[in-house]
Amino acid sequence: MIEVRKLLKRFGPKTVLRALDFHVEPGEFVVLLGPNGAGKTTFLRILASLSRPSLGQVSIAGHALPEQAAEVRRALGVVSHLPLLYGDLTAEENLQFYGRMYDLQNLDSRVTEVLQLVGLENRRRDLVRTFSRGMQQRLAIGRAVLHDPEVMLFDEPYTGLDQDASAMLDEVLRNVAARGRTVVMTSHDLARAEELGSRFDVLSRGVIAASCSQKELGASNLLSFYKQALAA
């Protein structure tokens, strides 16, 4: 579903990603771990076609970047720590706007369905700027799943969320995974990552330093795997 070969990303003299290889099968839930500054966000931005690689090949859902960027974007849903929502529009208007950008039909029923999914149906006519951080993140997830994408990218989605909002996000992520969608999520929360992920990759010094599946992890915990990967 996601195929990355020899990916290199430079910002001026600084090389952030060094010949990185990455492969994700359909339906996998990959949690990308790594210290701050390891290049996780840069990597996700390249996958999301928001940033151009300096070298290397990226293809998602059978479409190559940057040549088939529109097809890749149609297959992607992205949630970052910023909500990507307009404060002066209502929850409903935000989703309708993004629905039009994705050229969706039956928009009213789809918007209602998504608002129910993220538990915001009773706030549909409220301005987004009146929402708490948790509610904004819930709506941001609604925005990302609106077009029912095959692949979902989550960049630190738990940042700034309280317990209730985090639990709600857990539920949405499980729902997405249960529907066979492919997920790549960056996180610093190892406990949550272990609970949700089917595979764990550690990004360090610009490459995938270690990778293991939930099965391979077995009885050992993710923290020790992560520490070993960073120490190697």
Partner 1 sequence: MSTTVVRNKPSAFGSFLRAVGAIAWKDLAAELRSRELLSAMLVFALLVILIFNFALELDVKTRATITSGVLWVTFAFAGTLGLNRSMAVEKDRGCLDGLLLAPVDRSAIYFGKVISNLAFMLIVEAIVLPVYSILYNTNLFSLGLVGVILLGSIGYVAVGTLLSSMAVQTRTRDVMLPILLFPVVVPVLVAAVKASSGFLQSIPISEILPWLNLLVVYDIIFIAVAFMTFDYVVEE
Q: Which residues bind partner 1 (CB under 8 A)?
A: 45, 48-52, 70-71, 73-74, 76, 78, 80, 82-89, 93, 97-98, 100-106, 109-110, 113-114, 117, 127, 143, 145-148, 175, 179
Residue 183 CB, nearest approach to partner 1 (Å): 14
Contact between 230 and 204 under an 8 Å Cβ cutoff? The reply is yes
Residue 4 CB, nearest approach to partner 1 (Å): 17
Q: What span, in angstroms and rounded, lies between the C-alpha atoms of 139 and 204?
A: 32
Residue 179 CB, nearest approach to partner 1 (Å): 7
Take residue 35 and report the two structure tokens written for it: 């210290």
Nearer CB in complex with partner 1: 113/194: 113
Nearer CB in complex with partner 1: 161/193: 161
Nearer CB in complex with partner 1: 18/63: 63
User: In this structure, what are the phi and psi dihedrals at residue 186, rounded to the nearest 5 degrees?
Assistant: -95, 145
Nearer CB in complex with partner 1: 96/222: 96
Residue 100 CB, nearest approach to partner 1 (Å): 4
Residue 20 CB, nearest approach to partner 1 (Å): 17
Helix (H) or strand (E) holding 190: helix 190-196
Contact between 31 and 38 under an 8 Å Cβ cutoff? The reply is no
Residue 123 CB, nearest approach to partner 1 (Å): 16
| Beta-bridge mates of residue 185 | 31, 154
Would you give the DSSP letter of residue 48? T
Nearer CB in complex with partner 1: 81/214: 81
Q: The sheet that has 207-213: what strands, in order across it?
A: 76-79, 151-155, 182-186, 29-33, 199-204, 207-213
Nearest to 202 by CA among 180, 218, 219, 224: 224
Q: What span, in angstroms and rounded, lies between the C-alpha atoms of 75 and 49?
A: 12
Nearer CB in complex with partner 1: 105/122: 105
- Looking at 28-77, list the stretches that DSSP marks H as alpha helix, in order from N- to C-terminal side: 40-47, 69-74
Nearer CB in complex with partner 1: 45/192: 45
Residue 87 CB, nearest approach to partner 1 (Å): 7
CA 183 to chain CA mean position, Å: 7
